[in-house]
Amino acid sequence: MTRTRLLAALVMAPLAIAAILLLPTPWMMALAAVLFLAGLWEWFDLAEIEDTLARTVLLVANLALMVAIVWASRASNGYTMVLFQLAVVAGVVWWLLALIWLGRYEFASDHATHARVFKLAAGALSVIPAWCALAWIHVAEPNGHRWLLTALAIVWAADSGAYFAGRKLGGRIFGGRKLAPRISPNKTFEGLAGGVVAGVVVGIVFALIAGAAPAQLPAVALVALAAVLFSVVGDLFESLLKRHAGVKDSGHLIPGHGGLLDRLDGVLAALPVFALGKAVLGF
């Protein structure tokens, strides 16, 4: 599994990096919309929306909201990012609420009730703010494309750091304590620590490449830490959905990685936090 996982990553990573660095922002937004909406399609499956027509209507509704945000952001001198920024703030608030949801495992687990409504709302609140955050970061001057790569590299490094630290050190430092045993039994505090260290270190290195001044690195490290922790929340929330649905992966699109949503869950939570933190702390 590790070999397959690495080979898939070696194929995907160069393509993702090339798209981030070379595509103009409108094309990057369009590509991200396709990927995020594909992940949302898998989310509908976890919410047990089985009717294809219903899922298509829901997907089109989310696409329409993205288009509406772009259309309403037109200004006489180009575009304003106000609606994108408001969506990012809404996304950060949502992921704080998701953290509370994680502590109440049974909430919305019975699909005989209104569970689907909550999970569909959660899908929109996860995908659209993350897409808006991606656009806000990428379009910013100077070096917005490099800052977007920094944000994503933090999540990728944290995911890899957690995976390998968990495999090598799991149970050896924190006495076998699990991070969230009912939601994701394989996640350990050793893995969390490895992910935090990897994410923050990579964030600092990539921030220097993006043009951050040495005096800004403490702020970068703080935002990178927050992004890593929120990416864990995103990962755990998807695991919660999978537990409720009784499945191991959101799909089988990517060898060794599962579905597309399995690769996007941490990104969806981390991007709004990184974008907001970058704006507030001014780097």
**What is the structure's pLDDT at 254?**
60
Tokens of 253: 């699109």
Tokens of 172: 């050896």
Residue 79 belongs to what H/E stretch? strand 78-79
Residues 6+ positions from 24 with CB-CB distance below 8 Å:
none
> What span, in angstroms and rounded, lies between the C-alpha atoms of 116 and 44?
9
> 248 by DSSP, 3-state: which?
coil
**What is the structure's pLDDT at 251?**
65
The full length of the chain comes to 283
Tokens of 206: 């990539």
**What is the structure's pLDDT at 204?**
98
**Phi/psi of residue 163, nearest 5 degrees:** -65, -50
Mean pLDDT by 10 residues, the chain (283 residues): 64 89 96 96 91 95 97 88 97 97 86 82 97 97 96 96 85 79 89 96 98 96 98 96 84 65 94 98 94
**What is the structure's pLDDT at 256?**
52
Q: Where are the domains of the chain?
A: 2-281
Give the tens place of pLDDT for each residue, 165-192: 888 887 678 777 888 888 988 889 999 9
**What is the structure's pLDDT at 124?**
97
Give the tens place of pLDDT for each residue, 149-165: 999 999 999 999 998 88
Angle separating helix axes 144-169 and 217-245, nearest 10 degrees: 60
**What is the structure's pLDDT at 250?**
73
Neighbours of 85 (CB within 10 A): 16
Residues 6+ positions from 196 with CB-CB distance below 8 Å:
158, 161, 225, 228, 229
> What span, in angstroms and rounded, lies between the C-alpha atoms of 162 and 143?
29
What pTM, to 2 d.p., does this model score? 0.93
